[in-house]
Amino acid sequence: MNTIVKRGLSLATATILLASVMAGCSGNKAEVKESAAPAKTDTAAATVAPTDASKPDISKKVTLNWYLLGDAHQDSAKVVAELNKLLEKDLNTTLKLNFTTWTDWQTKYNLLLTSGEKVDMVFASSWADYFRLARQGAFLDLTDLLPKYAPITWEKAPKQDWIEATVEGKIFAVPATYPEYTPDGLVYREDWRQELKLPEITDLATIEAYFAGVKAAKPKVTPINGSAWNELFTLFKAVQGYQQIGGDSGVVVAKSYDAPRDIMAYPFTDEFEAWVKKMKEWKDKGYWNTDAIVSKVEAGDKIKVGTGAVYWRNAPGAGGMITGMEKTNPDIKLGYFPFSRIQGYAMPALSINNGMAIPKNAANPERTLMVLDKLRNDPAYYDLLTYGILGTHYDLAADGKTVVTPPKSVTNVKDFKKYDIASWGWRNEPMLREKQAGGWPAFDALLTEFKATTKPNIFAPVLLDYSSVKSQQAAVNQVFEQYGKPLMMGLIPDTEKGLKTFRDKLKAAGVDELVEYVKKEAYIYFDEKGIQ
């Protein structure tokens, strides 16, 4: 998904923006771009047969006002016009679809929910502060409306999806039905592994053997050549089984998936001590450079020029890199090792990472849910608003299922723009027509592997407000940056002394108070969800 960078905006920033909006901007409207006005129809065409008492009443024609994040496509107006033809016929409804654009989207999004404008549906997400906004009353409770007005979605969406969208016992959004797996892992020179007859990568020991083998055989190569923090920190968490919890809680983790309530500061464990000693050994053997902690060079760039061997990527990111390398450097063969194989399970991203919610001031919540139900489950609707107009924006392959772009009708391929809007909110896996991970053939097998070992993500929803321990959090994070990172990357000459200094500084910064706060708040969430 090419929105990863945009999604990386800090949750703390969103919270600050929301607070300022609630305090002083309630009289303003967000500045947005509108893709299409509702299609015009005459009175006779809008006449609807008498309603069936057992079905929702659609005798009154309505126009729905929806908002998506990001930018409209140049043909969004044409697509929405075609959609409105279907909506008028089936539900006596038209849709007005608006986009925030990516410029200052957080401010605009928050204004939508506080300006008083009648908005019928908006994109919702954990990374757009869904949980906090739901608790603050920004969204309508859909719990009782869903079975009647979105019955197909209500029946077919997995139970876990509804659990993840539930806040304080109520459902405030319809989550996307799309298990998105993004486990950390390593992209590496598979051709070198085969050339040097090194063992297949399966665990920490074989990763170490790979580093050692490459360094010995190719002295001019630095295995992780560039910034090395992501590679080492994600490997550390995977090997230990630690799960970060509570958003930006720094060194605070749950001990393991099976012990979520065992929350601690990992620098005080024996496992951490053993790890930093091993990292000192690796650094001294030249597996990364002395400037790796400050380097702005991506290790993947060094793989392309033959002076690096390993790069951190999640699974979709690995797919993009590998397929890209096949085009630009076909002589290089890459492999991928997801850390889920070390842990023995994979956790999908939260279903409510993408979803659709109805603001509390919506004029037509019932009709909006009926339209969403159609959009998620009727191929005519789903294909149109997700992929565009058949023959104009895409063709179907010989199998009659797979999207092919550009379509045959396009003569100027260079200027063709694939129909691509923020359609993640209604994404429904059974309806998908495109391959994931950029067409990387190996991803299908990986996805099957992830699903076979899947466990619900019970940690990501624990997003905390650290205002009561703000000073401790800031101090702990500063200590971590100054003393923890260099220690974990083997850059401190005296590991024993560096470890003691790090631990002492954490204590002085208030790490114990931070751990207790995370415990208290996490237990509230775990109690609500019945997580032991």
**CATH number of the domain that 339 lies in?**
3.40.190.10
Q: Which residue has the higher pLDDT, 22 or 164?
A: 164
Are 168 and 66 members of one domain? yes
Q: Which residue has the higher pLDDT, 13 or 447?
A: 447
Task: For residue 275, tell me if it sits in a domain.
Answer: yes
Are 172 and 199 members of one domain? no
pLDDT band at 249 (very low <50, low <70, confident <90, very high): low
Are 130 and 170 members of one domain? yes
Hey, is 84 helix, strand or coil?
helix
> Is 90 exceeded by the pLDDT of residue 53?
no
* pLDDT for residue 401: 86
Task: For residue 210, tell me if it sits in a domain.
Answer: yes
* pLDDT for residue 444: 87
Q: Which amino acid is at 188?
A: Y
* pLDDT for residue 42: 37
Q: Which of 95, 31, 153 is nearest to 385 (CA)?
A: 95
Enter the tokens of residue 178.
């799309």
Q: Which residue has the higher pLDDT, 505 or 442?
A: 505
- Is the pTM higher than 0.85? no
Q: Are 71 and 123 in contact (CB under 8 A)?
A: no
Cα 499 from Cα 492, distance rounded (Å): 9
* pLDDT for residue 370: 98
Are 26 and 64 members of one domain? yes
* pLDDT for residue 18: 36
* pLDDT for residue 436: 54
Q: Which amino acid is at 182?
A: T
> Is 80 exceeded by the pLDDT of residue 409?
yes
Instruction: Domain of residue 290: give its range.
Output: 184-245+265-343
B/e letters for 104-133, b = 16+ CB within 10 Å, e = fewer, are ebbbbbbbbbbbebebbbbbbbbbbbbbbb
Q: Which of 196, 230, 201 is nearest to 216 (CA)?
A: 196
Q: Which of 445, 405, 467, 420 is nearest to 181 (CA)?
A: 445
Q: Write down which residue in 343, 374, 398 finishes a domain.
A: 343
- Which of 312-316, 422-426, 464-468 bottoms out in mean pLDDT, i.e. has the lowest? 464-468
Q: Write down which residue in 343, 371, 403 finishes a domain.
A: 343
Q: How many domains does the chain have?
A: 2
Are 78 and 122 members of one domain? yes
Q: Are 309 and 507 in contact (CB under 8 A)?
A: no
* pLDDT for residue 55: 83
**Ramachandran sector of residue 92 (left: φ over 0; alpha: ψ -120 to 50; beta: rest):** left
> Is 80 exceeded by the pLDDT of residue 39?
no
Average pLDDT, the chain: 89
Task: For residue 109, tell me if it sits in a domain.
Answer: yes
Task: For residue 448, tell me if it sits in a domain.
Answer: no
Q: Are 434 and 444 in contact (CB under 8 A)?
A: no
Are 219 and 278 members of one domain? yes
